[in-house]
Amino acid sequence: MKIISNIKHYLYTGLREVFVYHHSSLEFRAKTFAVIIAANRHPAECDYNLVYEAGMQIYNEIGRANMLLLTTREYVQKVHKKNGLTIDDLIDDIRKELRLIPRYALKISPEQLLPLSECTVDEDTSTYQLRIIEFLERIKSEYIP
């Protein structure tokens, strides 16, 4: 059963644009979650459970919630493996996408991002995550008066 799950994950990852309806919107949300989680060098399963719960609140569909979770994990892994992606790159991507599609600012949800900082044990990391959330709120307010 795990083999089928892995194959499905690789197919969805590689062909997200084809299989996932509104994939760019989902990826934008995944980046907002990933930038907070990636700030923690050792994210807990608590972080990913919160992403899944947020996905269920947003989409009310298991498949899309799972895709949000998988995409978020993918971004976090890229940052942690130093695979050419950094937290600053994610933030830059978020800003660029907001400039191109300002309505994405509505997808930044501090209420869903704040609990991620509570999963973090290290106080400095938690503070860093809170500052990132404040920054996201600030750029959200630039696009939504």
pLDDT tens profile 4-63? 655 655 555 555 554 554 478 999 999 999 999 999 999 999 999 999 999 999 999 998
Which of 11-15, 70-74, 76-80, 93-97 is the least confident region?
A: 11-15
b/e burial code for range 49-73 (CB count within 10 A of at least 16 → b): ebbbebbbebbeeeebbbbbbbbbb
Give the mean pLDDT of 127-135. Answer: 97
101/23: higher pLDDT: 101
Considering all CA atoms of the chain, what is the largest pairwise distance in Å, rounded to the nearest integer? Answer: 48
Tell me: pLDDT of 104 over 70: yes
pLDDT above 70 covers what percent of the chain? Answer: 84
pTM for the full predicted model: 0.84
CA 68/CA 62 separation, integer angstroms: 10
**Residue 114 pLDDT level (bands cut at 50, 70, 90):** very high
**Residue 82 pLDDT level (bands cut at 50, 70, 90):** confident
Helix axes 110-118, 45-59, angle to 10 degrees: 160
Q: What integer pLDDT is reported at residue 24 of this predicted model?
A: 86
Structure token digits, residue 111:
């209420």
CA 97/CA 93 separation, integer angstroms: 6
